[in-house]
Every structure is written in structure tokens, then in C-alpha cells.
Chains A and B, each alone.
Chain A
Amino acid sequence: MARVLVGVKRVIDYAVKIRVKPDKSGVVTDGVKHSMNPFDEIAVEEAVRMKEKKIASEVIAVSCGPAQSQEVLRTALAMGVDKGIHVEVSGPEYETLQPIHVSKILAKIAQNEKIDVIIVGKQAIDDDCNQTAQMTAGVLDWPQGTFASKIEKGDKDITITREVDGGLEVIKCKLPAVLSADLRLNEPRYATLPNIMKAKKKPIQKLTPKDLGVDVSPRIKIISVEDPPTRQAGQIVPDVDNLISKLKEAGHC
């Protein structure tokens, strides 16, 4: 039976309209609804299903971030994860926290907890990095199955169907391995009220990057964050001739 580690990130809720701070240093996060990264929800669901199929013995969720990250750990626990690990990174350090740091933290925890399978969402919907799974596999020197849309576990190996450009790729790799969840892997369950209540009794372990011996000093400096260009207003033309002349003006024909 495998021990499974899932990475969960607290991000601004997918339904919230993102606003950029006037000084272009980042986006407004104060008083904005946050929730678990949707791709991580898919990863959690897959891990919980592995446990329900008796493939996994224990499922552990990790989140790196400020104190509020515990909320997403609670959601993960309510979905059926056994134990949470909160790696506290806050303030300016969190703003420049990159997949390289997170992957080292995940790798360290995986070694400490004797993990066989790491599942993370393929990317977070806030920074869209899509690097954590790949880097974690690199740090640990484990095989990786990214963009998984189907996962089947055998005795000593695991078969992963991957979403690649224009089709599917099926790979088989040995355990331990790092996997990343694509959108079509499964349909995540909803954390119901009774389960949230029950999840309050489950343990959350608190750690700092220092405890794990990971250096989280910034690798990058954020120079500017800007809104995407807004769409130009359209124009109504009275007839076809007018339309053609307008198109010619704009150089379209």
C-alpha cells in the first residue's frame, strides 16, 4: 500500500475578478475570497479515491503559505485526507516564494514521511507556473507523470495516461513517482458541512522551511504586475461599402 502526498495551494477563488494594486506591486488579496487551487482539488480527489480503493494507506496534504493556508488544508481534510502539514511562509517571503522552493519543501517532506506517490495540481490558477511537479521530480530524482488524465496503479509500477498536444500518451513508471493532475482526471467531491466538522478533529502539523532545512530566500524580484490590455470598443458601420473602406483603412484587405 502506498503513502500519498498531495500539495495544495491557497489561491484567490476562481470566480473572483482579479484587481491589480495601483502601485503595480501585485494583486489585491486583502478581503478577497480565497479557496483551494482547483487543480489541487483534483489531485486531492485522486489521492482520496486511491485510499478508498485501498491502494493508498495514508494521504497527507501539504500547503506552503501564511496562516490562512490552514483553511485549504481543512478543506482537504474534509475531502478525506488523513493528515495536514502546514509549512508556514508569510509576508514578503511568501510573495517571492517560487516552485523551486516549494519543490524542495515537498521533496524533504516526502523523504521524511516515506512517501511513494506525490500528486499535485498541474498548475496554480494564480501564478500559472506549472513547474512544481517537474521540479519536485527533479529534486528527488523520481520519475514523473505530468498532466495525468488517468492513473492506474499496478504492483510495483504505475500507469499514467497523459494529456499531450492533440492526443493522449500512456506511460508506465516505477514507484516512487511524482504526478500532476490535469482537469479531466476526475470530478472533485464537495466538502460537505458534516465532513468539515469531522475534519476539525484531524491533525495539522506545523513546520517552517527552517525545520526542513530549505532556504526560501527570494530568487526573483517582482518588477511590475499589470492588467491585460482591455478590448477596444467596437463600431457599427451603416453599410457594406463603409465596412470595406474601414477594413482597408485598418489594413485588413
Chain B
Amino acid sequence: MSQRSRVVTLYKNLLHLGKEWPKGYDFFRSRLHNAFLKNKDESSPENIEKMIKHGEFVAKEIETLYMLKKYRTLKRRYYDEQVARKN
């Protein structure tokens, strides 16, 4: 895959992840768009490679964030009875 299409794929993947963003898709989309737009003039392949790596790292972090959020919510609802009573 060319570097350009990898960037596009990364963007699409991140957009897909953003659909479940707690503050809403629009919030996520505009931030993501700005983040990509900020580097639009970057032309060095090494730098772009670094940025793609960073983007993939962010995508992994978002997946983990969603998983943790779900796990914690379920744990609170079904397992931490005593903590729930204190609140």
C-alpha cells in the first residue's frame, strides 16, 4: 500500500472508532480532521511514517479506552455491590 493510501485508511479507521466517542461523533470528527489538517504540508516520508505509527498507536489507545469503560461500567453495575451502596 502506498503511504498516501495508508494515511487515508488510518483516517477512516479512526473515524470509525470515533462513532462511539463519549462526547459525540461530531466532536471527535472535527478534532481528528484538525489533527490531520495540521500536518497536511508534511512531505518527508520518514516523518509521515512516524505520524502513521503515532496514529495507529492512538487507534489502539481508543480501543483500549472503550474496553476499559465498558468493563468498569459492568463491574460497577454487577460486582461492586458495597461500593454502589456507599455512593
* Interface: A241 (CB within 8 A): no
**Residues of chain B with a CB closer than 8 A to A14's CB:** 70, 73-74
Taking a contact as CB atoms under 8 Å apart, the answer to whether A38 and B63 are in contact is no
- How many residues on the A side are at the interface (Cβ–Cβ under 8 A)? 13
Taking a contact as CB atoms under 8 Å apart, the answer to whether A190 and B74 are in contact is no
Shortest distance between the CB of B75 and any CB in chain A (Å) = 7
**Residues of chain B with a CB closer than 8 A to A183's CB:** 71, 74-75, 78-79
**Residues of chain B with a CB closer than 8 A to A187's CB:** 67, 71
* Interface: B12 (CB within 8 A): yes
Shortest distance between the CB of B73 and any CB in chain A (Å) = 6
Interface of B is mostly: helix
**Residues of chain A with a CB closer than 8 A to B71's CB:** 183, 187
* Interface: B16 (CB within 8 A): yes
* Interface: A233 (CB within 8 A): no
* Interface: A223 (CB within 8 A): no
Complex interface residues of chain A between 1 and 24 (CB less than 8 A to chain B): 14-15
| B13, B67, B77: the one within 8 Å of A188 (CB) | B67
Query: How many angstroms between the C-alpha atoms of A15 and B19 in the bound complex?
Result: 13
| A39, A190, A194, A196: the one within 8 Å of B63 (CB) | A190
Taking a contact as CB atoms under 8 Å apart, the answer to whether A38 and B70 are in contact is yes
Query: How many angstroms between the C-alpha atoms of A222 and B73 in the bound complex?
Result: 28
Known: A183-B75, A183-B78, A183-B79. A193 touches B67 (CB 8 A): no
* Interface: A111 (CB within 8 A): no
* Interface: A230 (CB within 8 A): no
Interface of A is mostly: loop
* Interface: B27 (CB within 8 A): no
Query: How many angstroms between the C-alpha atoms of A196 and B15 in the bound complex?
Result: 14
Known: A183-B75, A183-B79. A193 touches B13 (CB 8 A): yes
Complex interface residues of chain A between 39 and 60 (CB less than 8 A to chain B): 39
**Residues of chain A with a CB closer than 8 A to B69's CB:** 15
Known: A183-B78, A183-B79. A193 touches B12 (CB 8 A): yes
Shortest distance between the CB of B87 and any CB in chain A (Å) = 10
Question: Residue-by-residue, is A178-200 near B (CB-CB < 8 Å gives 1, otherwise 0)?
Answer: 00000100011010111010000
* Interface: B36 (CB within 8 A): no
| A190, A194, A196: the one within 8 Å of B66 (CB) | A190
What 14 additional pairs, Cβ within 8 angstroms, besides A125-B77, A193-B16? Answer: A14-B74, A15-B69, A38-B70, A38-B74, A183-B78, A187-B71, A188-B67, A190-B17, A190-B66, A190-B67, A193-B12, A194-B9, A194-B13, A196-B16
Residues of chain B having any CB pair with chain A under 8 Å: 9, 12-13, 16-17, 22, 63, 66-67, 69-71, 73-75, 77-79
Nearest 7 A-B pairs (CB), nearest first? A193-B16, A190-B63, A193-B13, A38-B74, A38-B70, A14-B73, A183-B74
